[in-house]
Structure 1
Amino acid sequence: MKDKKISIKESFNLGKGWNLMIFAILAMLVTNAGVNDGLNVALPAIAKGAGLDYEVCLAMGTVAGFVGVAMMLVIAKFRDRFGGRKVSAVLFIIFGLTFYFLFLRAANIVMYALSQCIMVSCGQGCFYLCTGPMQSDWFPRKRGVVNGISTIGANIGTAVLAPLMTFLLGRAEYKVSLSVFAAAAVVLGIYAFVTLRDNPMDAGMYPDNVSKEKYETEYKDISDKDDYVSDWTISKMLKCKEVWIAAIVPGFITLGLLGIITQFVQRNVYLGLSTDMAVGAMTVAGLIGIIGSYGIGYIDTKIGTKKACMIYCGVFAFGILLNLLASFWPPLVYASIFIVGFSLGGSTNMSLSFPASIFGVLDYPKVNGVIFPINYCIGCLNFVVNAVVMKLTGSLTGAYIVFFCLFLVNILIVAATEEGKWDKLKHPELMNGGEKKQ
Structure 2
Amino acid sequence: MQQQEITDGLPYSNTRSNFGSRGWGIVGFSFLMYYNFAAWTADGLNIIVQSFVDMHGWDYATLLAFSTPAGWIGVFGALLIAEVISRKGAKGVAVVGIILLGLTVMWFGHARSYTEYAIGLVLMNLLATGCCFNVPATLLNTWFPRKKGLALGWATMGMSLCTATLVPIFYFFFNRLGIPNGYAVVGGVLVLLGFITIFWIRNTPEELGLYPDNLPVSQQQLDANLAVLNNYQSPFTYKVLFKDRDMWLISVGFGLLWLVDIGVVSQLVPRLISIGYPKETAVWMFTSAALCCAIFSYVWGWIDVKIGTRKASVIYALFFAITHACLLVRGGGYFTYFTLLLVGASIAGIKELCTSMVGTVYGRYDFAAVNRLVSTIACLFRVCCFLVIAISLRYTGQYDAAYIFFIGLDIVAGILIYFITDKCKGKTEVVITGFKSNNIPI
- Asked if 2 retains the 8 angstrom alpha-carbon contact of 1:232 and 1:363, the reply is yes
- 1:106 is paired with a residue whose SS is coil
Q: Distance in 2 between matches of 1:46 and 1:411?
A: 41
Show the 5 A alignment for 1:344-383.
344-383=347-386
In structure 2, the CA distance between the partners of 1:117 and 1:17, relative to structure 1 (3 Å rule), is: same
Match of 1:25 in 2: 31
Q: CA deviation at 1:34?
A: 3.0
* 1:116 corresponds to: 121
* Counterpart for residue 135 of structure 2: 130
The separation in 2 between residues aligned to 1:349 and 1:337, in whole angstroms, is 20
The 1-side partners of 2:430 and 2:93 are apart by: 31
Give the secondary-structure state (helix, strand or coil) at the position aligned to 1:161: helix
Rounded to whole Å, the distance in 1 between the matches of 2:64 and 2:201 is 35
How do 1:52-67 residues align onto structure 2 when only pairs under 5 Å count? 52-67=58-73
**2:41 corresponds to 1:46:** no
Report how far residue 26 of structure 1 moved.
Answer: 1.5
Q: Is residue 2:186 matched to residue 1:181?
A: yes
Indicate which of 280, 285, 292 corresponds to 1:288.
292
| CA deviation after TM superposition for structure 1 residue 427, in Å | 12
In 2, the alpha carbon distance for the partners of 1:215 and 1:201 equals: 11
> TM-score, normalising length from structure 1?
0.91
Kindly indicate whether residue 387 of structure 2 is the aligned counterpart of residue 384 of structure 1: yes
* Among 398, 407, 423, the residue aligned to 1:420: 423
Structure 1 segment 264-343 matched on structure 2, within 5 A: 264-325=268-329, 327=330, 331-343=334-346
Given residue 349 of structure 1, which amino acid in structure 2 is its aligned partner?
E
CA drift at 1:345: 2.1
Q: What is aligned with 1:260?
A: 264
- Runs of at least 4 residues off by over 4 Å: 213-217, 219-223
**In structure 1, what is the equivalent of residue 89 of structure 2?**
83
What are the superposed Cα offsets for residues 85-134 of structure 1, whole Å, 9 maximum, x if unpaired?
01111001000000110x21121121111111111111121133222112
Q: Distance in 2 between matches of 1:144 and 1:220?
A: 26
What are the Cα deviations for residues 273-305 of structure 1, in whole angstroms up to 9, with x where unaligned? 222111101111111111111111111111110
**What is the RMSD of the two structures over their aligned residues, measured on CA atoms?**
2.4
Matched, 1:203 2:177: no
The range that moved more, 144-153 or 14-23, is: 14-23
Name the CA distance, whole Å, in 1 between partners of 2:77 and 2:161.
27
Where does the alignment leave 5 or more consecutive residues of structure 1 unmatched? 429-438
Match of 1:433 in 2: none
Could you say which residue in structure 1 is the equivalent of 2:440? none
Maintained 8 Å contact 2:37/2:128 = yes
| TM superposition shift of 1:353 | 1.2
* Partner residue, 2:435: none
8 Å contact 2:106–2:185 — kept in the other structure? Answer: no
Cα deviation per residue 1:153-190 (whole Å; 9 max; x = unaligned)?
A: 10011111122222322223111123332122112211
> Where does structure 2 lack aligned partners over 5 or more consecutive residues?
1-6, 432-442
- For 1:421 and 1:30, the matched residues in 2 are separated by 31
Worse-matched range after superposition: 193-202 or 204-213: 204-213
**What SS does the aligned partner of 2:177 have?**
coil
TM-score, normalised with respect to structure 2 = 0.90
Query: Could you tell which deviates more after superposition, 379-388 or 63-72?
Result: 63-72
* 2:105 equivalent in structure 1: 99
Check conservation: 2:152, 2:352, Cα contact below 8 A: yes
Measured after TM superposition, the shift of residue 423 of structure 1 is: 3.1
- Aligned partners of 1:27 and 1:127 also within 8 Å: yes
Q: Distance in 2 between matches of 1:57 and 1:215?
A: 57
Q: 1:323 to 1:214 in 2, by over 3 A?
A: farther
Cα contact 2:75–2:379 (8 A) shared by 1: yes
- 1:409 matched to 2:412: yes
Q: How many residues align?
A: 424
The answer as to whether partners of 1:128 and 1:352 remain within 8 angstroms in 2 is no
Moved more, 137-146 or 121-130: 121-130
